[in-house]
């Protein structure tokens, strides 16, 4: 019997079938969450080399484009073949990555490691000094007993937390290093995959467009391709700009705190630079633990450090950041805060890094839909006209 696919009842039946199947799948997942998480973890572990390769290719593509468009300029040299141009660009790209890793492991990592070890070894003496300061302050100014007991109790809690953190820091770093070393094979495979992806990146993009146009109607395919380009543009500008901005802030912090003779300069500059990748909260996340580290050595220097970080962040927010990132966000501070809180809660540190560009992407789609409907109704679409 021939099925009339254009029939209204056939369409309703098909949609009902898919809704029922989706409901059954959702019920099975909800009833066996732990088993589902294990299965998802197994699938992710299988595809981990491919995931690492895609991430590497996406990040390294920024460097490759820089060499091809800004340095090599092979397009203006007609005698150079495109394949040779890509080959030279890939060599320079991976040479740059290897050089950056070498510089970090040769000069930065040993300093960070020695700073952490020194900090862990010195924490007991710092805690003892602060305890003596509290006792001397009490004997000098004769604080009321109830307030003194409250201060001592809170300090003991804080001291125990610090000692516990220092005790567990080395094993945590060891386990992290062990995890990285155990993933060496996946990283090697990821590097190989990233090379193949970058060699034929135009062909892979063309293949994805071809598949999209084959599966969807022309209007919907164009819409999907346009959204993919928009998402790539938003994420690309944000990630590349934020990484460059954080690198500059890390170097600037190192120079300034070295001039002011702060302790643990390499470690603190590294913390400030890495956490600066996180929008809005990044400066606070990096400044607070750094200030606590300096506080153990000198409370005055800790206060000066906070002033220095405040000035550097003002320079970053008003001069360096806008020059590098431009108007790549295009949303208010409230929505940045909102996106960080939501994605940070759902996905942790990774969510705080990619949360803002992800929200900007979703925000742009919703804004486009809302303004499109207002235009169809003949209504003003600018927000200012509704104030």
Is the per-residue pLDDT at 235 higher than 70?
Answer: yes
Terminal C-alpha separation, the chain: 61
Confidence of residue 9 (pLDDT cuts 50, 70, 90): low
pLDDT higher at 163 or 200: 200
pLDDT score recorded for residue 90: 92
Confidence of residue 327 (pLDDT cuts 50, 70, 90): low
pLDDT score recorded for residue 173: 67
pLDDT score recorded for residue 256: 92
> What is d(CA 49, CA 102) in angstroms, rounded to the nearest whole number?
23
pLDDT higher at 347 or 53: 53
Is the per-residue pLDDT at 14 higher than 80?
Answer: no
pLDDT score recorded for residue 237: 84
pTM above 0.95, yes or no: no
Q: Contact 79/228 with Cβ under 8 angstroms?
A: no
pLDDT tens digits, residue range 251-290?
999 999 999 888 888 888 888 888 888 877 777 888 888 8
Q: Contact 134/155 with Cβ under 8 angstroms?
A: yes
Is the per-residue pLDDT at 110 higher than 90?
Answer: no
pLDDT score recorded for residue 192: 93
pLDDT score recorded for residue 98: 93
pLDDT score recorded for residue 23: 81
Give the mean pLDDT of 230-245: 86
> What is d(CA 311, CA 301) in angstroms, rounded to the nearest whole number?
15
Is the per-residue pLDDT at 326 higher than 70?
Answer: no
In 3-state terms the chain splits into helix, strand, coil percentages (rounded to 5) of 90, 0, 10
Is the per-residue pLDDT at 362 higher than 80?
Answer: yes
Is the per-residue pLDDT at 85 higher than 90?
Answer: no
- CB environment 220-257: b (16+ within 10 A), e (fewer): ebeebbeeeeebeebbbbbbbbbbebbebbbebbbebb
> What is d(CA 30, CA 22) in angstroms, rounded to the nearest whole number?
12
Q: Is residue 48 classed exposed, middle or buried when 0-12, 13-18 and 19+ CB atoms within 10 A define those classes?
A: middle
pLDDT tens digits, residue range 115-162?
777 777 777 777 677 777 767 766 666 666 676 677 767 767 776 776
Is the per-residue pLDDT at 194 higher than 80?
Answer: yes
pLDDT tens digits, residue range 29-76?
667 667 766 777 777 888 888 999 999 999 999 899 888 887 776 555
> What is d(CA 235, CA 237) in angstroms, rounded to the nearest whole number?
6
pLDDT higher at 108 or 160: 108
Reading the block at residue 373, the tokens are 């409907």
Among 189-198, 318-327, 334-343, whose mean pLDDT is lowest?
Answer: 318-327
pLDDT score recorded for residue 97: 92
pLDDT score recorded for residue 99: 93
pLDDT score recorded for residue 385: 75
């Amino acid at each position: 019997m021939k099925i009339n696919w254009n029939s209204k009842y056939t369409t309703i039946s098909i949609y009902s079938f898919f809704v029922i199947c989706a409901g059954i799948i959702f019920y099975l997942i909800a009833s066996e969450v732990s088993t589902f998480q294990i299965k998802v973890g197994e699938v992710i572990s299988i595809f981990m080399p491919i995931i690492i390769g895609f991430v590497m290719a996406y990040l390294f593509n920024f460097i490759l484009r820089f060499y091809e468009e800004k340095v090599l300029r092979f397009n203006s040299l007609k005698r150079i073949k495109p394949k040779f141009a890509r080959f030279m660009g890939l060599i320079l790209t991976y040479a740059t990555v290897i050089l950056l890793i070498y510089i970090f492991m040769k000069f930065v990592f040993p300093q960070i490691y020695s700073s952490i070890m020194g900090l862990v070894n010195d924490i007991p003496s710092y805690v003892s000094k602060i305890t003596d300061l509290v006792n001397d302050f009490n004997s000098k100014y004769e604080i009321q007993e109830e307030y003194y007991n409250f201060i001592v109790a809170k300090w003991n809690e804080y001291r125990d937390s610090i000692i516990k953190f220092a005790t567990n820091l080395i094993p945590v770093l060891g386990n992290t290093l062990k995890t990285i070393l155990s993933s060496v094979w996946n990283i090697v495979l990821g590097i190989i995959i990233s090379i193949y992806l970058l060699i034929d990146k135009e062909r892979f993009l063309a293949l994805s467009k071809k598949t999209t146009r084959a599966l969807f109607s022309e209007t919907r395919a164009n819409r999907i391709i346009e959204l993919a380009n928009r998402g790539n543009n938003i994420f690309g500008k944000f990630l590349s700009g934020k990484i460059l901005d954080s690198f500059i802030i890390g170097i600037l912090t190192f120079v300034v705190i070295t001039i002011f003779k702060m302790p643990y300069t390499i470690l603190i500059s590294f913390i400030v630079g890495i956490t600066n990748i996180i929008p809005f909260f990044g400066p606070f996340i990096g400044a607070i633990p750094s200030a606590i580290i300096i506080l153990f050595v000198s409370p005055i220097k800790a206060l000066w450090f906070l002033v220095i970080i405040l000035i550097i962040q003002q320079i970053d927010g008003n001069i360096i950041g806008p020059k590098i990132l431009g108007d790549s966000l295009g949303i208010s501070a409230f929505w940045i805060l909102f996106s960080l809180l939501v994605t940070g809660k759902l996905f942790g540190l990774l969510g705080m890094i990619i949360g803002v560009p992800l929200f900007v992407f979703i925000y742009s789609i919703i804004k486009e839909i809302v303004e499109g409907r207002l235009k169809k109704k003949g209504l003003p679409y600018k927000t200012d006209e509704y104030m």
